[in-house]
Amino acid sequence: MKLLQINASLFSGDGHSTRLAEQFVESWREKYPESEHVVRDLARDSVPHLDEQRFKALITDPAQRTPEQVAVADYSDALIEELRGADVVVLGLPMYNFGVPSTLKAYFDHVARAGVTFRYTANGPEGLLRDRKVYVLAARGGFYVGTPLDSQTGYVRDFFGFLGMRDIEFVYAEGLNIDENSRDAGLSAARERLRALVA
């Protein structure tokens, strides 16, 4: 079994979401010691944001790509193979200005490829990365679950679902920037939830 951990915090290992992801992975590996663990840290190894040239490289017929376009496509292919090879995906997800980090959006833009990770059919789009479990560990400064300001949950669920990954579990640590008591309570609730998930 292979577990892919994606850290989206700009603070890398010091982010609350990353620490929650690390706790989850530690408990997971205690239960499944034979598991392989791969880390994709988007702060330490950021994915370039999609621009016109990168987009054109990804949609150009492979036989017609320039050497520069081949390099872009190979980079995207490597990210996709890393994701395709995972049985479990653990995403450490902070909230920045009511949305996902731009580095995560860049990652999403490189792994969502028509004909590779999804395809269009007569019955609508079909995800090609099925049968993978996704755990999203979301850290927020305020309280957003169930409110119109929680733009993350629907977007992340829809994105993974579009690629075929519909078995998604969200764990929230909220109120982390309100005050010390709120932060401690939010992290404690999230950690308790994580323990229950891996028990």
**Residue 167: which residues within 8 A CB-CB, separation 6 or more?**
132, 133, 134
Question: What pLDDT digit, counting tens, does each position of 134-178 carry?
Answer: 999 999 999 999 999 999 999 999 999 999 999 999 999 999 999
Residues of the binding site: 9, 95-98
DSSP secondary structure of 13-41: GGSHHHHHHHHHHHHHHHH-TT-EEEEEE
Residue 25 has pLDDT above 90, yes or no: yes
Calculate the alpha carbon distances from 1 to 27, 39, 117, 135, 189 in Å. Answer: 15, 14, 20, 15, 28
Give the three-state DSSP class for 157: helix
Residue 20 near residue 186 (C-beta atoms within 8 A): no
Residues of the binding site for FMN: 9, 95-98
| Confidence at residue 199, expressed as pLDDT on a 0 to 100 scale | 84
Exposed (0-12), middle (13-18) or buried (19+): which is 9, by Cβ within 10 Å?
buried
Mean pLDDT across 52-61: 97
Q: Is the pTM of this model over 0.85?
A: yes
CATH superfamily placement of domain 2-198: Flavodoxin domain (3.40.50.360)
| Confidence at residue 22, expressed as pLDDT on a 0 to 100 scale | 97
